[in-house]
Amino acid sequence: MQRSNRLRDIRALTHDDIVGLVAELGQPAFRAKQLEEWLFQKNASSFDEMTNLPKKFREQLTERFAFTTPVELVKQVSHDGSRKYLLEYPDGTSVETVGMPSRGKLSVCVSTQAGCAMGCAFCATGFNGLSRSLTAREIVDQVAHVARDFGERVTSVVFMGQGEPFANFDETVKALRILNDPDGFAIGARHLTVSTCGVIPGIKRFAELPEQFTLAVSLHSAVQSTRNQLMPGVKKYTLLRLHEALQSYVEKTGRRPSYEFAMIEGVNDTNPEMEALIDFCQGTLCHVNLIPLNDTPASLLKPSPMHKIEALQRRLTMHGVETTIRNSRGNDIDAACGQLKQKQVHVQGA
């Protein structure tokens, strides 16, 4: 893997730049197409891989450009086959990415930001605030890294790692489109899932996209005061407005959003909380994922006991609300990570 802080990433070049570069280096015009294929379809991460380009041309490219692909600082492998990576970009920023194989499929959970500004009370990422947003290329490079490490095609991607995707909307959509490109990763839109903590302007823009990307919303409580405490960053996007935005989303797209509900003992597993959740969901198109909270060292919140989770599932089902209980994968590798555990959530649904 080549790295440099000085040289520009060749993948930042436009089509015209590449055509110009090929001419400047005295190569025939068709080399532009070959180079672009390596960069944007085969997702190469070094010039050495580009075996159909003349050696001299590859050397010239190496002198002028770099691949600013992230470097793997840590890899943890779970007994269930999931692998969690800590990847570092050239500026020293690092993020977590997870690869989850399952019956011939490979799902990747990507981060869209380093850190997060939303400050959710139960989330390990939120505790340290936001470092910076990632570029589309940096998000896609996480997927490429996992694909290379497993030596397999990635079949689905969940945007559920660190960060709030809709606080980085444009780069998130660019990344979705790169991953969806039939000449590149070719991951079907329905197999690309974005999870938001409920940023309403983002949900509205997401509904306008022509592609059938999947939406997940972190709900965690349908009682306003509880939700304000758990998710202070989205206080201004009230549950009433969130509900409206989700109904418009469903009307506009005909697609079913998932609601994430991490069950926290004594906080959102009480009777009134369950009533409120049923009210929020009943009669609407949605799928509820009940997740036992992952314990994080920085918070005193504890997961609800399984019998309560099962009881809520039964109640939701009785009211016609489709519900799944999800258990984390990679328990043994994820001790310090607040939310990268339950990304299995959409793997099976995707």
Binding site for ligand SF4 (CB under 6 A): 116, 118-120, 123, 125-126, 162-164, 197, 218, 339
Indicate whether 296 belongs to the interface with ligand SAH (CB under 6 A): yes
Q: Return the ∠ at Cα 226 (arms to 233 and 265), rounded to 5°.
A: 115
Closest to ligand SF4 by CB, 70 or 163: 163
In the bound complex, what is the minimum distance in angstroms from residue 164's beta carbon to ligand SAH? 4
In the bound complex, what is the minimum distance in angstroms from residue 113's beta carbon to ligand SAH? 8
Q: How far apart are CA 321 and CA 225, in angstroms?
A: 23
Question: Dmax over Cα atoms in the chain, in whole Å?
Answer: 73
Ramachandran category for residue 240: left, alpha or beta (phi over 0 → left; psi -120 to 50 → alpha): alpha
Q: Is 281 an annotated catalytic residue?
A: no
Q: How far apart are CA 312 and CA 330, in angstroms?
A: 25
Binders of ligand SAH among 197-216, rule CB under 6 A? Answer: 197
Q: How far apart are CA 150 and CA 127, in angstroms?
A: 31
Closest to ligand SAH by CB, 123 or 173: 123
Helix (H, G, I), strand (E, B) or coil at 231: coil
Q: Give kind and range of the element (H or E) at residue 107.
A: strand 105-109
In the bound complex, what is the minimum distance in angstroms from residue 125's beta carbon to ligand SF4? 4
Tell me the CA end-to-end span of the chain in Å, nearest whole number.
Answer: 32
Binders of ligand SAH among 157-186, rule CB under 6 A? Answer: 160, 164
Binders of ligand SAH among 306-335, rule CB under 6 A? Answer: none
In the bound complex, what is the minimum distance in angstroms from residue 188's beta carbon to ligand SAH? 21
Closest to ligand SAH by CB, 36 or 260: 260
Lookup result for tokens 């994820």: 334
Which residues are identified as catalytic?
96, 337
Contact residues for ligand SAH, defined by CB under 6 A:
116, 122-123, 160, 164, 195-197, 218, 260, 262, 291, 293-294, 296, 338-339, 342
